[in-house]
Amino acid sequence: MAHPVRLANEITSDFGANARPEDAFGDTAQRTREDEDRLRKLMVRYQQGDAEAVEILVTRLSPPLLRFCLGPDLSRSDAEDLLQECWLRIHRARHTYLPSEPLLPWIYAVARHTRLDAYRRRRRLGSREVLTAGPPEPVAVGPAPESGVMELLNRLPDGQRDVIVMLKVVGLSLEEVARATASTPGAIKQKAHRAYASLRKMLTADGPREKGML
């Protein structure tokens, strides 16, 4: 697996210092105003019962939602189950979306709680499980393979990971993340700051040979 720092350096050198990441890849993490408006209109059509809008929303939002669902203790298939549950909850709660409000904080608020509930459920089930004398052969289902930086993110505490994914990967603003987590922008800023401090430590501790590349 390519080391994240090396990967970043390669990309920067390939596309020049001023190159925007979206120049390199078709998909952009930074949302535009038009994007936001389009999503809102689709959500309104979804509320009105338009099947085509559902299809587009699922196509557009599922990959970042799946990324959000993937965690350190989840296999890919668990994350996909979680994604399905997430969409069911979005479906169930669609009447609570207000068209004048931004859509993504609403979506990620529901997604975050779906994940939280799944975590609690797993913990509850785990505490009730009784180990037998001769357990069957374990099925080799490990955590989903992740790119270097996501692997680093998975080592962060859940709260900090969520904030960084929403801020930097999904491209939400501080205020939008605050909405999604029922928190304040100040608290989010503090969490992001702590997460960055941990990421910095991890990067320098994990790749001593790469330090010179920084």
By CB under 8 A, tell whether 18 contacts another protein.
no
- Mask 23-62, x = binds another protein (CB under 8 A)? -xx-x-xx----------------xxx-x--xx--xx--x
Are 74 and 143 spatial neighbours (Cβ–Cβ below 8 Å)?
yes
| Residue bearing tokens 């979680």 | 82
Are 114 and 82 spatial neighbours (Cβ–Cβ below 8 Å)?
yes
- The residue from 42, 70, 156, 188 that contacts another protein (CB under 8 A) is 70
Of 74-93, which residues contact another protein (CB under 8 A)?
76, 80, 83-85, 87-89, 91-93
The pair of structure tokens assigned to 60 is: 């557009």
Complex with another protein: residue 134 or 142, whichever CB lies closer? 142
Distance of CA 25 to the CA centre of its chain: 19
- Count, residues near another protein per rule CB under 8 A: 80
- Closest approach, Cβ 117 to another protein, in A, equals 5
By CB under 8 A, tell whether 141 contacts another protein.
no
Contacts of 143 (CB under 8 A, 6+ apart): 71, 72, 73, 74, 75, 154
What's the angle, vertex CA 74, arms to CA 71 and CA 75, rounded to 5? 125
- The residue from 158, 169, 174, 189 that contacts another protein (CB under 8 A) is 169
In whole angstroms, give the CA distance from residue 45 to residue 126. 41
Complex with another protein: residue 80 or 134, whichever CB lies closer? 80
By CB under 8 A, tell whether 63 contacts another protein.
yes
The pair of structure tokens assigned to 198 is: 């941990």
Are 170 and 153 spatial neighbours (Cβ–Cβ below 8 Å)?
no
- The residue from 13, 21, 155, 190 that contacts another protein (CB under 8 A) is 21
- Closest approach, Cβ 137 to another protein, in A, equals 27
- Closest approach, Cβ 132 to another protein, in A, equals 26
Contacts of 189 (CB under 8 A, 6+ apart): 174
